[in-house]
Amino acid sequence: MHYFTLAAKASDWDYCPQHRRHMPTILVNQARPNAVYNSARMIYIPACYQIQYFTQNRWTDPPAQMLQPLLISALQHTDRFQAIINTPSTTYYDWILNTQLLSFQQEFISIPSRFRIAIRAQLINARTRRVISSEDFLVTQIAPHDDAYGGALAANQATQKILNEISCFCLSNLTSLKLNH
């Protein structure tokens, strides 16, 4: 059995240029996975509408659990938040980031295979509980090999890209809110 994980080096994070005025706090809730992605089994798609699992390969944890610390790290590396909280508590926070894992799979529909990750992000004002913005993000990454290891490598690259996009989504929405008030 082979186990794969998601990881990121600090040097891999992109920075979104923004002005520092007020350093908000944000609660990053655990991503909600679609049911098929709620296990550590590695999914691959051999043909349209067909889902299979690698028999000798697994993720170390379900994908949504692996994504949470990486999303927090991506937001921390923006240096635009006073605090990033990962569990709801009595601590005060300005914003809430909810995410839903829509897709996390290696696809063999074309050659070379590709890894697809899709996440829906929702930014909420913690005081009013109003949704400020919601957006779906999708990244596909060509796998360097047409096997589970190649899929894991592509998954790491795709995850890095999509988390950078979600970080920029948060920052651009918070910046536009400041300009409008």
Q: Quickly tell me which residue has 């944890």 as its tokens.
A: 61
SS (H, E, C) 28-82: ECCCEECHHHCCCEEEEECCCCCCEEEEEEEECCCHHHHHHHHHHHHHHCCCCCC
Residue 27 parent element (H or E): strand 25-28
Provide the pairing of β-strand 131-142 with 2-4. Answer: unpaired
Two tokens, residue 41: 């089994």
One-letter amino acid of 98: N
Closest CA to 69 of 5, 143, 18: 5
pLDDT of residue 176: 67
Rounded Cα–Cα distance for residues 97 and 109 (Å): 33
Distance CA 27, CA 30 (A): 10
Topology adopted by domain 22-180: Rossmann fold (3.40.50)
User: What's this model's pTM, rounded to 2 decimal places?
Assistant: 0.88
User: Per-residue confidence of the chain (181 residues) as pLDDT tens digits?
Assistant: 888 888 876 555 555 555 445 689 999 999 999 999 999 999 999 999 999 999 999 999 999 999 999 999 999 999 999 889 988 776 788 999 999 999 999 999 999 999 999 999 999 999 999 999 999 999 999 999 999 999 999 999 999 999 999 999 999 998 766 645 4
Q: Please, how many CA atoms are within 13 Å of residue 114, restricted to the half-sphere of its CB?
A: 13
117, 103 in Cβ contact below 8 A?
A: yes
Q: Is the dihedral of CA 68, 119, 151, 10 positive or negative?
A: negative
DSSP state, 155? H
100 neighbors 34 (Cβ within 8 angstroms): yes
pLDDT at 111: 92
Domains in the chain: boundaries: 22-180
> Does residue 150 sit in helix, strand or coil?
helix
